[in-house]
Amino acid sequence: MEDLIIVIVQFTFEVLGSAFIGSPFGFSARKPSKPESSSGGYQIVFALAGALLGYVSAYLLPFKLLPYSWLRLLNLVIAPIAGGYVAKAIATHRAKADPLIEPKVHFWNAFSFILPFALLRLAYVARYAI
């Protein structure tokens, strides 16, 4: 039972935490004059930010929340997809008020952030965890 609670807490922390960390990048004080576009430059910035925060979180919290390696690998696959869909859902809701918001852009931004975050955390914690 304890293992199930750990899986739920880890999944919730990874997906929702990553989606909300990435969501401030989508808010702006000024209204855009043209529709959002997804460019490779933004994807690289989000990937680098995710990798940096993944390393920092693994350094500050060097312990395994998921007890089995297959759960950590499953988390590596599910977290970016689920986080992307959460960001897309938030953007879809925001797009009702602002038609220039593109939900698919927010999906890929969140995906680009969460994947390296989870990958670096997996690699670092698997090697150095207590």
Per-residue model confidence as pLDDT tens digits over 75-116: 899 999 999 999 999 989 988 888 888 888 889 999 999 999
pLDDT of 127 over the 60 cut = yes
Query: What is the share, in percent, of the chain residues with pLDDT greater than 90?
Result: 19
The pLDDT score that the predictor gives to residue 88 is 92
Residue pair 108/38 in contact by the 8 Å Cβ criterion: yes
- Which segment of 24-38, 52-66, 91-105 scores lowest on mean pLDDT? 24-38
The pLDDT score that the predictor gives to residue 100 is 84
- Which segment of 26-30, 43-47, 93-97, 105-109 scores lowest on mean pLDDT? 26-30
The pLDDT score that the predictor gives to residue 115 is 94
The pLDDT score that the predictor gives to residue 41 is 79
| 65 or 3, higher pLDDT | 65
Return the structure tokens found at 43.
């994807």
pLDDT of 29 over the 50 cut = no
CA distance 130 to 116: 22
CA distance 123 to 127: 6
pLDDT of 46 over the 50 cut = yes
What DSSP letter does each residue of 74-105 carry, written as one string? HHHHHHHHHHHHHHHHHHHHHHTT-TT--HHH
